[in-house]
């Protein structure tokens, strides 16, 4: 039997390889580093964490915890390595990145069923089982090949991510609901607006200019492309008034407390249907995460803001997954080809590991001619697949795991827990793990 080919020895590719060998199959893992570097990776190790060393929250009954718990129950190599490499990090699963990558590199190199080839993959055979897991920094030659196979013209995007805060943590005695010039799509006041007077604005600009930035991963030659999504600190550097004429413009917004227009305004846009999270419109930035928390809490109304996500900018290569993939992460047009990791349209380290695990298991099922069984929709794994294969194709954006992606509880249970968000989340997690255990009892 021909070995399964895996392109990319990152988070998704290594997990996929491990799962394939666990199921008793051989694979060839192509990793182009160190022969060909990427703009972000620094070593030749497999599964290198390119930026933060956090695999997010380990607080029980949070969505990131649920995803990790599911992976642990499915014998994930990378979650096991994370445990070995764990360093103190509060409620987060924080790892020593060197130990983490070394553990995984060792496990892959020592596995007799995996042939590791340090070379750039440039072509995909349409009749062999293959997993494409080359990540957000996929090499140009392979990106062109993926374009050919998928018919997609453009795979490179520049992710500019604005911070997201919990709705409950916005102080609505200061912030007010309104749409600019009262123009709203559905007649409601779509935005939450945080007003700043001159003094507050000046203090805010000083804080942005003094904030510590994360080291840039963006190559110089891409700078022009970034005009469309400049980080706010770059706007502030171009002139103290620039933000006030850009994302912080106050026109058309009357503060009901004063009956007047403010000096500047930060607008927050509803992020999800449940309206329990809001993003800071146009606030993509390169500041370190703790700096973002400190600086953005200077905004009136956000003094106690709880951040669900921080702003970021980086290159991102991904396919328009809902137009191309099945819920089992196979290309609709070529069932032997799977996508996993960030290129499949998920966002984040653990989400990449998760899609690696899913594709690895499904590729092994395909190789054994068994029926490919999608993960239950109620699980975090199944919910990631449902998002990737079923989201709106026109405005597709990679997503992290959140409770938003998981199916809602039935009406009676929702009513039972309507005043207790924690209990609701615990119930969603309980249901997910129960479904996963049922699934595992049939497909270990």
C-beta closer to ligand FAD: residue 194 or 357: 357
**Interface with ligand FAD (CB under 6 A), residue from 16, 142, 264, 305:** 142
118 contacts ligand FAD (rule: CB under 6 A): no
Distance, in Å, from the CA atom of 229 to the CA atom of 225, rounded to the nearest integer, reads: 8
Distance, in Å, from the CA atom of 390 to the CA atom of 56, rounded to the nearest integer, reads: 25
Q: Which stretch binds ligand FAD (CB under 6 A): 46-54, 98-106, 179-187, 427-435?
A: 46-54
314 contacts ligand FAD (rule: CB under 6 A): yes
**Interface with ligand FAD (CB under 6 A), residue from 4, 5, 6, 10:** 10
C-beta closer to ligand FAD: residue 121 or 248: 121
Q: What tokens does 2 get?
A: 């021909």
**Interface with ligand FAD (CB under 6 A), residue from 9, 247, 301, 360:** 9
Residues 6+ apart with CB under 8 A from 163: 279, 280, 283, 285, 292, 296, 307, 309, 310, 311
Torsion of the alpha carbons at 188, 194, 196 and 200, rounded to the nearest 10: 180
C-beta closer to ligand FAD: residue 28 or 265: 28
**Interface with ligand FAD (CB under 6 A), residue from 111, 292, 352, 389:** 352
Smallest Cα–Cα separation from 407: which of 426, 390, 382, 436?
A: 382
Smallest Cα–Cα separation from 78: which of 356, 339, 328, 345?
A: 356
**Interface with ligand FAD (CB under 6 A), residue from 6, 17, 32, 170:** 32
We find the least distance from the C-beta atom of residue 357 to ligand FAD, in angstroms, to be: 11
We find the least distance from the C-beta atom of residue 261 to ligand FAD, in angstroms, to be: 38
31 contacts ligand FAD (rule: CB under 6 A): yes
- Own/partner pairs for 268-274, CB < 8 Å, 24+ apart? 268/165, 268/170, 268/175, 268/191, 268/192, 268/193, 268/194, 269/190, 269/191, 270/190, 271/164, 272/402, 272/404, 273/404, 274/404
- How many other C-beta atoms are found inside a 10 Å radius of the C-beta of residue 322? 17
Smallest Cα–Cα separation from 3: which of 24, 134, 108, 145?
A: 24
In the bound state, the residue with its beta carbon closest to ligand FAD is 10
C-beta closer to ligand FAD: residue 135 or 301: 135
We find the least distance from the C-beta atom of residue 179 to ligand FAD, in angstroms, to be: 33
**Interface with ligand FAD (CB under 6 A), residue from 7, 176, 296, 439:** 7
State the residues that interact with ligand FAD by CB under 6 A.
Answer: 7-13, 30-33, 38, 40-41, 50-52, 120-121, 133-139, 142, 217, 314-315, 341-343, 348-349, 352
């Amino acid at each position: 039997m021909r070995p399964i080919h895996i392109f990319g020895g990152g988070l998704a590719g290594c997990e996929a390889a491990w799962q394939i060998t666990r199921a008793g199959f051989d694979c060839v893992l192509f990793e182009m580093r160190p022969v060909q570097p990427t703009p972000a990776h620094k070593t030749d190790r497999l599964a290198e964490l390119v930026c933060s060393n956090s695999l997010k929250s380990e607080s029980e009954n949070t969505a990131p915890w649920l995803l990790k718990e599911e992976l642990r129950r499915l014998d994930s190599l990378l979650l096991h390595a994370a445990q070995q490499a764990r360093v103190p990090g509060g409620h987060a699963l924080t790892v020593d990145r060197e130990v983490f990558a070394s553990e995984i590199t060792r496990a892959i190199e020592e596995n007799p069923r995996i042939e590791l080839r340090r070379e750039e993959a440039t072509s995909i055979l349409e009749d062999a089982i293959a997993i494409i897991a080359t990540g957000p920094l996929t090499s140009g030659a392979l990106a062109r090949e993926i374009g050919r196979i998928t018919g997609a013209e453009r795979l490179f995007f520049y992710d500019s991510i604005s911070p997201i805060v919990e709705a409950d943590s916005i102080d609505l005695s200061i912030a007010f609901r309104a749409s600019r010039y009262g123009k709203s799509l559905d007649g409601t006041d779509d935005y939450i607006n945080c007003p700043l007077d001159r003094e507050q604005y000046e203090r805010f600009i000083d804080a942005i200019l003094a904030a510590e930035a994360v080291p840039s991963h963006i190559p110089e030659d891409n700078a022009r492309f970034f005009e469309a999504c400049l980080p706010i600190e770059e706007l502030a550097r171009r002139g103290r008034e620039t933000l006030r004429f850009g994302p912080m413009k106050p026109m058309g917004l009357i503060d009901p407390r004063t009956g007047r227009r403010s000096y500047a305004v930060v607008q927050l846009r509803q992020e999800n249907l449940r309206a329990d999270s809001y993003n800071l419109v146009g606030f993509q930035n390169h500041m370190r995460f703790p700096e973002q928390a400190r600086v953005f809490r200077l905004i009136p109304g956000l003094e106690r803001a709880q951040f669900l996500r921080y702003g970021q900018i980086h290159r991102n290569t991904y396919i328009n997954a809902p137009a191309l993939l099945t819920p089992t992460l196979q290309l609709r047009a070529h069932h032997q080809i799977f996508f996993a990791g960030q290129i499949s349209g998920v966002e984040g380290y653990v989400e990449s590991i998760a899609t690696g695990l899913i594709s690895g298991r499904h590729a092994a099922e395909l190789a054994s001619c068994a029926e490919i069984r999608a993960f239950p929709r109620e699980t975090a794994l199944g919910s990631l697949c449902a998002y990737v294969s079923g989201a709106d194709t026109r405005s597709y954006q990679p997503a992290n795991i959140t409770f938003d992606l998981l199916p809602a509880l039935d009406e009676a249970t929702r009513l039972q827990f309507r005043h207790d968000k924690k209990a609701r989340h615990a119930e969603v997690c309980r249901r997910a793990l129960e479904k996963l255990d049922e699934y595992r009892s049939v497909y270990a």
